């Protein structure tokens, strides 16, 4: 078993690439009261002591997480913040606010979108309650909600079965990857890492999914394939990467950690005239094969082996180099586009106060999907400024008869993470 804190291992990869800092934007129905938010956020954060950690180096050159009793920082203005720095009291969590928006900044080594929702709901409940609203707290972890062992659980490989999946998904690992877009962005003196916010009525998308033998993931994957065919007619194969949270398979369905892996679905131009119904059916069948628990058990054991190898390196420099060069999350199957869906979130009494919620991360040709009571809130990530891809995606939505609202290209202003030097 790895020798350090379960939540510390992604930190080695951050030294090479800032791909694990994320921000979730919540738009409320009224302008944010900064003083009330600051007080409420500090109270709510105390409910999650496993997030109140700072990073240090031990005598053996490994990253360790140490308890921190300093308050969570709430910063006015939508801008990039430095997680782990004095600006955030050394914490890897922070909040910004501007107008009616609250931005929840996280380092992904603790949790992702699914786990973060617990903290977000707790903070918003405390904020609105402190403003004088009476809000049902069913399903919300407030300051008096007991912390359970299940909430903090870590999968134990000794209790995971060993088995062969029934059927395997085999396809050539070649696909169009938009490398030229990255090169153009790096050459741009003022590059933009942006996203388009897109809202689709929740009931409409769910009905469309049911009518077309689909789920939100399979429908969106099919729609993005249709987008790629329009935007890149010269390409022949497109592989979708679809995030899968396998906490339940690993025996920890309630843990705050988002234990993630990628599923892959490959399309080719021979499928370009297929209906969304047919594409969704094929997509789901390929997802089902990869969602077998046997794949999750194998993935988890491989992750632990990777972490053991990090531990075996004698210095922080060697640990960082090994992690960056061998990361299974970074060096996966080359994909044309990615989808990450938090899943159903029960907002309860918070629902009427939330206008929109968007997950922002380091990505290109990726859609992050959240949902309010009314809408699916999509962050369409891109590094292009010319509107390529978004035009084609919206055209596909038009062709399929979706009602939607699309906003302007917006800078994500993602947080950076500062770690002890070496």
Q: What is the pLDDT of residues 314-326, one digit of tens each?
A: 999 999 999 988 8
The pTM of this model reads 0.95
pLDDT value for 41: 98
Helical H segments across 131-275, by residue range: 179-187, 202-211, 216-231
Q: 3-class DSSP state for residue 153?
A: coil
CA atoms of 369 and 345, how far apart (whole Å): 11
Q: Which two tokens stand for residue 139?
A: 């399903």
Q: How far apart are the first and last CA of the chain?
A: 26
Residue partners of 4: CB distance under 8 A and separation at least 6 = 62, 63, 64, 311
pLDDT value for 195: 97
* β strands within 314-419, DSSP E: 337-341, 354-360, 366-371, 375-382, 405-406, 410-411, 416-417
The fold of the 169-417 domain, in CATH, is: Chloramphenicol Acetyltransferase (3.30.559)
CA atoms of 185 and 192, how far apart (whole Å): 8
pLDDT value for 411: 95
Q: What is the pLDDT of residues 205-227, one digit of tens each?
A: 898 888 877 899 999 999 999 99
Q: 154 with 79: CB under 8 angstroms?
A: no
Q: What is the DSSP string of 73-125?
A: PEEESS---EETSGGGTT-SEEEEEETTEEEEEEETTT--HHHHHHHHHHHHH
- The residue extents of the domains of the chain are 6-143, 169-417
Q: Which two tokens stand for residue 56?
A: 């240090």
pLDDT value for 1: 63
CATH architecture of residue range(s) 6-143: 2-Layer Sandwich (3.30)
For the chain, list residues with pLDDT below 70. 1, 330-331, 422
pLDDT value for 165: 84
pLDDT value for 421: 79
CA 19 and chain centroid, separation? 11
Q: What is the DSSP letter of 192?
A: -
CA atoms of 121 and 100, how far apart (whole Å): 16
Q: 7 with 257: CB under 8 angstroms?
A: yes
In our burial notation (b when 16+ CB lie closer than 10 A, e otherwise), range 20-41 reads bbbbbbbbbeeebeeebbbbbb
In 3D, which of 232, 262, 234, 235 has the Cα closest to residue 246?
Answer: 262
Domains 6-143 and 169-417 belong to one CATH topology: yes
Q: What is the DSSP letter of 45?
A: H
């Amino acid at each position: 078993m790895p020798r350090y804190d379960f939540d510390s291992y992604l930190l080695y990869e951050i030294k090479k690439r800032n791909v694990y800092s994320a921000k979730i934007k919540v738009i409320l129905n009224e302008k944010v009261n900064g003083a009330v938010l600051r007080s409420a956020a500090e109270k709510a954060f105390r409910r999650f002591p496993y997030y109140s950690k700072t990073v240090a180096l031990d005598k053996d050159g490994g990253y360790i997480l140490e308890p921190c009793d300093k308050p969570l920082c709430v910063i006015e203005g939508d801008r990039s913040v430095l997680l782990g720095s004095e600006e955030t009291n050394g914490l890897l969590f922070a909040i910004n606010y501007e107008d009616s928006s609250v931005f929840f900044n996280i380092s992904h080594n603790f949790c992702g979108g699914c786990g973060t929702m617990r903290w977000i709901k707790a903070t918003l409940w405390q904020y609105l309650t402190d403003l004088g609203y009476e809000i049902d707290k069913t399903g919300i972890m407030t300051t008096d909600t007991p912390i359970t062992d299940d909430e903090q659980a870590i999968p134990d490989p000794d209790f995971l079965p060993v088995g062969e999946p029934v059927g395997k998904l085999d396809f050539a690992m070649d696909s169009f990857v938009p490398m030229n877009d990255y090169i153009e962005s790096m050459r741009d003196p003022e590059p933009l890492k942006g996203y388009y916010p897109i809202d689709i009525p929740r009931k409409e998308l769910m009905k469309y999914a049911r009518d077309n033998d689909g789920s939100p993931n399979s429908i969106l994957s099919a729609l993005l394939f249709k987008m790629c065919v329009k935007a890149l007619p010269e390409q022949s194969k497109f592989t979708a990467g679809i995030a899968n949270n396998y906490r339940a398979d690993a025996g920890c369905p309630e843990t705050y950690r988002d234990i993630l892996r990628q599923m892959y679905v490959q399309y080719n131009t021979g499928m370009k005239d297929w209906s969304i119904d047919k594409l969704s059916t094929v997509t789901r069948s390929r997802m089902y094969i990869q969602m077998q628990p046997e794949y999750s058990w194998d993935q988890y054991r491989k992750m632990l082996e990777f972490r053991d190898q990090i531990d075996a390196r004698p210095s922080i420099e060697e640990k960082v180099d090994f992690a960056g060069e061998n990361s299974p999350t970074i060096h996966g199957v080359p994909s044309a586009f990615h989808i990450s869906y938090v899943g159903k979130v029960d907002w309860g009494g918070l629902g009427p106060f939330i206008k929109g919620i968007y997950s922002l991360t380091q990505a290109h040709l990726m859609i992050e999907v959240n949902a309010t009571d009314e809408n699916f809130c999509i962050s369409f990530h891109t590094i292009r400024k010319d509107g390529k891809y978004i035009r084609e995606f919206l055209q596909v939505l038009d062709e399929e008869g979706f009602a939607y609202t699309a906003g302007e290209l917006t800078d994500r202003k993602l947080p950076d993470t500062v770690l002890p030097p070496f």
